Structure 1
């Protein structure tokens, strides 16, 4: 599954910011075998939301579950980046440096 990035959508921009901090997430699997992440709240980093590719326990998702929240978008983006790194690493020479987690950075938009 690909992830569409829309630079005009504030939710997408926040998802990119959250995905850039993926090295601060908790991770595991639920009883169904799905990847589950504990994603810190942007407002209170001591609070974590439980997020999968399809669900989140944040208020935004609970109130607007027909649309993915920024946390779900961040998880999807993070998993796509990991998938791309894995497929790219099989084609790189053995001496290529490993990419570190949390390699995204937010660049301010200039007009």
Structure 2
């Protein structure tokens, strides 16, 4: 299936936000940490806000700035306090838990 050409820069979709994570160092108490990067990969120059992730029962034994990443409810986490990510912009954070959480896009708002 071929995706139609985008005419307006404001058009975007969930696939224009990339979420990646990887294991990083252990904390002194041997709890694993993970670094998450959320990137606006929109090829047409769109700005994207209201980024919500599916995040299960996300929790971290280390503090995460709630303006960067905050769990509102089960399986609903907000990125960047709802503010827009410009094209190519990356926001990242680290969390600590005995296991990693699968994170994926729930919804976005095209600006």
What TM-score results when the alignment is normalised by the length of structure 2? Answer: 0.25
Which has a greater percent of strand? 2
More helix by share: 1
